[in-house]
Amino acid sequence: MKFPPSRFWLALLMVPGFAAAAPKEAGLEERHRALLKENCQNCHGPEKQKGKFRVDNLPPIIRSVEDAERWQKVLNAMNSAEMPPEEEKQPDPSKKADFLEDLAQVMVTARRTLGDQKGVIALRRLNRREYRNTLRALLGVEIDVSELPSDTGGPAFDTVGAALFLTGNQVEQYDALAREALEQAFNLQSTANLQKKLRCEAEAIQPVFLKKSREAWETWKRATKWIQAVDQAAAKPENAQIVAGLRETAKTDDKLRYSWHKIPGAPSPVDFGFEQQAAVNPAIIYVIRDSTDFMSYDDYYVGLLGRDTGSYLTIFHSNLGSGGTGVTSEIRLSIPKDFPPGDYVFRVRVGATADAPAERRFFEFGLHGFFGGSSVLSTHHVSASMDEPEVVEIPYTVTRKNQELGHRHLYIREKGAGNTQGFVAQKIQEARNRLAPGPEVALWIDWVELERKNPAELPPGMRALGIPIDPKTPEVGREELRAALDRFIEEAYRGVKAPEGMIDRLLGIYESRKALGASHRESLNETLASVLSSPRFLYRAEPAENGKHRALDGLELATRLSYFLWAKPPDPELRALGVSGKLFDPGVLEAQTNRLLDHPDAVYFIRPFLTQWLTLDRLDLFQFSQSLYPKFDAAVKAAARQEVYETFGTLLRQNGPLNALLKADYVVVNALLAQYYGIKGVNGDAFRKVAVPAESPRGGLLGMAAIMAMGSNGERTNPVERGAWVLRKMLNEPPPPAPANVPEITRLAGKLLTTRDRIKAHQEEPQCASCHRKIDPIGFGLENFDATGQWRTKETYQAVDAAGKPDPKARKTWTIETASVFHKGPAFKDYFEMREIIAQKREGFARGFSSALVEYALGRPCGFSDEALLENIVRLAREKDFGTRTFIHALIRSKEFQTK
């Protein structure tokens, strides 16, 4: 094992390390003993030991799992109202609430103390996203890893080694994925210089439109002609008696025609080109006769100028009849079969019509799925006019899946055009209201195109391999192969050489596979796949003697740094600095950290870190009701989530103060989100800083739609969830986990109450009050944000049944009351005052953030033994006005980051 030539971190020993921190003790304050003595000891004391349980000799400090279990029993029994028994004397409610609050906190401390890994980092497997990134960095291909366990969803970050399990199933999946990745990498190499480009002129669909339109007319005419013919037959005097008989049950003409076959001379619908079905059920024909909206809408479309050089996008719904404009709602491009997988760019030349309203200047780019569903991949703003269209570029990665039938059709359509029940229905209704033939078109497309971005160079893994993989290659010499494997392994193992004997074994695998009749390429694939499913690749090993801390070597430091900030292996520059040991120079280390943070790949840190730290995955737990919140559609939701990343990313790039997340006088938005927030003058898809006035509720996490939306259930706000989130994430005073077996409050079931009144019931029971008195007031202070983060002053509750049907009698509207008081803290009269109080808590916020950062970066829980480390990070950051980047520099400079 190589050690760094110079150990700069030794200089940092002045900073207290993990050994210096005094362990925090988990013990209940003495004052609470009185409650136990008074209310429990009679049955659970020296005299009587009901259930063989005593409270008088409970250990004052929890030092073992057994101690913890005894105290946990006390907490459980009191939370579940099992103890004291109903018929016995009950403690004073406020004392009980205090007791439970403190005991719950003690248990949290105890669990953390007992679970403290004391700085030991368990061997880290590459988590799912690191694995994907690592394969891409090595082989230059994008692999679908969705079959692997996500590694998220537990209480820990997905970087924590102890929580990253591995099963036999997974090993087999790794093997299969490696083979797939290698196959693609081989293909990529053989097609590296193949240039591909396809442009589809949008006007090409105009003839299809016209044909469809004509057909719709034609069908309508056939329908009316058949009706006429039947009516004529029915009007004949010789049929009068038959018709009179039929009239007895068929009161209207439409009903009469159901019996057309009983009227002599009446023709069958089949004679008019309809299916047999229509002959049995003429309602099919009536629907066609009655759907005449398409005629005027088609006429309107035909009259538009510019159809010779492009196409307008319509928003289409079957309510408009099946006219020609169904065709023009999308411009498609089918990926040709001979376009190899790899990176592409999709371009759209687009402009908005002169009177396109702001909300309709967006288009969606997506892929039609095989099972009917079409996934929207991204949404884009159109700022150009039709006269001077712009070219919007969208990066797209073609994978092997795209070559399957049903995964080849890329499309663009107006944003919301797929939301037939919400947006489309609304636009059609609006058009009807102003007597327009249909929604006016807003976007004009000149063309769409797909062009391959040829790889500039071979990916590192293939470059290292450096032997032909062409299927025609008959023989590669054994020594040549040995050298190739040696180079490939070093690259795959992130700079670590192949251990002795490994290459011989691999050559054995290669040769026995060939002996089974496989080609060179197949055999090589299998051989390399076994490198990519070996533990040296799947785990980030930092060998060390038992239980001993040691300094990382340069290569290990480079790897840690790279996985921290890029979630992938170090690039050649970083690796070289690691190997030479120059990376230990604080100046070099800082420069490299800055380089990594300035690189676009820093999103591989920003996204997963923020998603997990701020629990943004809650946004995907539920559907947002499109009938209640038509504006909060999938595109806005995606942009709202992006706002969180972009805001943090901006702070990180500019080393802005972390506390800008508590409150700021700006937001970081793009055109779509600016429109959602009612901010004018923002164009394009790029997120940028936009100033907001002081009286705006926006600016900082609390004003973000994503943060407020995840504190809801998609229909209504959830003040408890929001309050607990603020305590956890912003104030760094996390409430203990929701206790089990607290009796539910059910007496309010089915009653029409304001949200606040319903939640106030928490104060009735000490078991609930012990936590909720801290949580709920903050939730109340945020009630001006609805379930999708829009500002409101009134709220309505409309009771519905499980199928979503509203009950008109069960409805209540009230003015939202946000004034409240922090538990044992200041009062506030509204959201703005509350935000001001929270914005003062910069220290707590900085500590909470640092602790999350430590866990994420070091891959182990941040324990009490990390107190000194946290102290140090926060101190260094404070000296630089809590500059966001300063936290990261401080952590990377720490002994903990540079020690195994």
Partner 1 sequence: MNRPLSRRHFLRTSTALIALPALESLGFRRFAAAAAPVSRPKRMIFLGFGWGVTHESWYPALDQKGADYTLPVALEPLARHKADFSIVQGLWNKYNGNGHYGSTFWLTGANEFGEPGQSFHNTISVDQVAADHLGKDARFESLILDCGAAANGSGHGQGLSLSWDSRGKPMAGPKNPLEAFHRLFAKDTTPLAQQKAMLAQRRSILDNALENARELQRSLGKTDNDKLDEYFQGIRDIEARLSQDEKWLGVPQPEPPMEEPAPGLAGYEEIKLMYDIMVAALQTDSTRVLTYRQPVSTLLTSLGVRIDSHTMSHYHGKGPEYLEASIKRDQAQCELLAGLLDKLKATREPDGSTLFDHTTVAYGSNIRTGHSLDNAPTLLAGRGAGIQPRAQPRRPQRHPALQRLAYPAPRLGSPSRAPRRQHRRHPRPSGLGGGERDKR
Tell me which residues in 779-798 interact with partner 1 (CB under 8 A).
797
Q: Which stretch binds partner 1 (CB under 8 A): 205-213, 607-615, 748-756, 874-882?
A: 748-756
Q: Of 716 and 878, which CB lies nearer to partner 1 in the complex structure?
A: 716
d(CA 388, CA 215): 35
Shortest Cβ 400–partner 1 spacing (Å): 18
Q: Judged by CB under 8 A, which of 11, 238, 801, 824 binds partner 1?
A: 801
Which residues have a Cβ under 8 Å from the Cβ of 646 and sit 6 or more positions away? 668, 687
Q: Judged by CB under 8 A, which of 42, 117, 385, 594 binds partner 1?
A: 117
Shortest Cβ 110–partner 1 spacing (Å): 9
Is residue 168 a contact point for partner 1 (CB under 8 A)?
Answer: yes
Give the distance, in angstroms, between the CA of residue 569 and the centroid of all CA atoms in the same chain.
Answer: 24
Find, among 661, 740, 749, the residue nearest to 702 by Cα: 661
d(CA 651, CA 610): 13
Is residue 53 a contact point for partner 1 (CB under 8 A)?
Answer: no
Q: Are 33 and 27 within 8 A, CB to CB?
A: no
Q: Of 385 and 798, which CB lies nearer to partner 1 in the complex structure?
A: 798
Residues between 170 and 199 that touch partner 1 (CB under 8 A): 170-172, 175
Is residue 813 a contact point for partner 1 (CB under 8 A)?
Answer: no
Specify the long-range contacts of residues 55-61, CB closer than 8 Å, at least 24 apart.
60/27, 60/28, 60/30, 61/25, 61/26, 61/27
Q: Which stretch binds partner 1 (CB under 8 A): 114-122, 411-419, 452-460, 883-891?
A: 114-122
The beta-strand segments (E) located in 399-540 are 409-414, 443-452, 539-540
Is residue 748 a contact point for partner 1 (CB under 8 A)?
Answer: yes
d(CA 543, CA 535): 13
Is residue 167 a contact point for partner 1 (CB under 8 A)?
Answer: yes
Residues between 833 and 872 that touch partner 1 (CB under 8 A): 861
Residues between 369 and 408 that touch partner 1 (CB under 8 A): 371
Q: Judged by CB under 8 A, which of 258, 622, 791, 864 binds partner 1?
A: 622
Residues between 67 and 106 that touch partner 1 (CB under 8 A): 68-69, 72, 76, 80
Q: Of 81 and 284, which CB lies nearer to partner 1 in the complex structure?
A: 81
Q: Are 491 and 383 within 8 A, CB to CB?
A: no
Is residue 758 a contact point for partner 1 (CB under 8 A)?
Answer: yes
Q: Are 720 and 783 within 8 A, CB to CB?
A: no
Shortest Cβ 476–partner 1 spacing (Å): 19
Is residue 745 a contact point for partner 1 (CB under 8 A)?
Answer: yes
Helix (H) or strand (E) holding 873: helix 867-879
Is residue 61 a contact point for partner 1 (CB under 8 A)?
Answer: no
Q: Are 320 and 296 within 8 A, CB to CB?
A: no
Q: Of 171 and 591, which CB lies nearer to partner 1 in the complex structure?
A: 171
d(CA 429, CA 414): 17
Shortest Cβ 679–partner 1 spacing (Å): 30
Is residue 466 a contact point for partner 1 (CB under 8 A)?
Answer: no
Half-sphere exposure of 842 (CA within 13 A, CB side): 15
Is residue 357 a contact point for partner 1 (CB under 8 A)?
Answer: no
Find, among 144, 142, 162, the residue nearest to 154 by Cα: 162
Q: Judged by CB under 8 A, which of 114, 192, 425, 634 binds partner 1?
A: 114
Q: Of 501 and 681, which CB lies nearer to partner 1 in the complex structure?
A: 501
Shortest Cβ 112–partner 1 spacing (Å): 8
Shortest Cβ 166–partner 1 spacing (Å): 4
Is residue 48 a contact point for partner 1 (CB under 8 A)?
Answer: no
d(CA 810, CA 800): 8
d(CA 560, CA 592): 12
Residues between 702 and 741 that touch partner 1 (CB under 8 A): 713-715, 718, 737-741
Is residue 634 a contact point for partner 1 (CB under 8 A)?
Answer: no
Q: Which stretch binds partner 1 (CB under 8 A): 134-142, 801-809, 840-848, 888-896?
A: 801-809
Is residue 1 a contact point for partner 1 (CB under 8 A)?
Answer: yes
Residues between 298 and 317 that touch partner 1 (CB under 8 A): none
Is residue 115 a contact point for partner 1 (CB under 8 A)?
Answer: yes
Is residue 505 a contact point for partner 1 (CB under 8 A)?
Answer: yes
Is residue 513 a contact point for partner 1 (CB under 8 A)?
Answer: yes
d(CA 108, CA 865): 15
Instruction: Give the three-class secondary structure for 543.
Output: coil
Task: Give the number of other Cβ atoms within 10 Å of residue 109's Cβ.
Answer: 17
Strand partners, 200: 448
Burial class (CB in 10 A: 0-12, 13-18, 19+), 594: middle
Task: Give the number of other Cβ atoms within 10 Å of residue 772's Cβ.
Answer: 23
Residues between 409 and 448 that touch partner 1 (CB under 8 A): none
Shortest Cβ 721–partner 1 spacing (Å): 10
Q: Judged by CB under 8 A, which of 21, 502, 588, 679 binds partner 1?
A: 502
Half-sphere exposure of 305 (CA within 13 A, CB side): 4
The dihedrals phi and psi of 449, each to the nearest 5 degrees, come to: -150, 155
Structure tokens, 748: 């309010």
Shortest Cβ 530–partner 1 spacing (Å): 5
DSSP string, 666-706: EEEE-HHHHHHHT--S--SSS-EEEE--TT-S-SSGGG-HH
d(CA 187, CA 442): 42
Q: Judged by CB under 8 A, which of 14, 30, 47, 155 binds partner 1?
A: 155
Q: Are 535 and 526 within 8 A, CB to CB?
A: no
Residues between 20 and 39 that touch partner 1 (CB under 8 A): none
Find, among 722, 729, 707, the residue nearest to 755 by Cα: 722
d(CA 843, CA 588): 29
Give the distance, in angstroms, between the CA of residue 385 and the centroid of all CA atoms in the same chain.
Answer: 33
Is residue 625 a contact point for partner 1 (CB under 8 A)?
Answer: yes
Is residue 19 a contact point for partner 1 (CB under 8 A)?
Answer: no
Q: Judged by CB under 8 A, which of 23, 207, 466, 499 binds partner 1?
A: 499
Is residue 241 a contact point for partner 1 (CB under 8 A)?
Answer: no
Q: Judged by CB under 8 A, which of 530, 559, 647, 717 binds partner 1?
A: 530
Structure tokens, 481: 């192969």
Shortest Cβ 765–partner 1 spacing (Å): 12
Q: Judged by CB under 8 A, which of 71, 78, 105, 116 binds partner 1?
A: 116
Helix (H) or strand (E) holding 363: strand 362-368
Q: Which stretch binds partner 1 (CB under 8 A): 121-129, 554-562, 576-584, 845-853?
A: 121-129
Number of residues that bind partner 1 (CB under 8 A): 98
Is residue 544 a contact point for partner 1 (CB under 8 A)?
Answer: yes
Shortest Cβ 627–partner 1 spacing (Å): 10
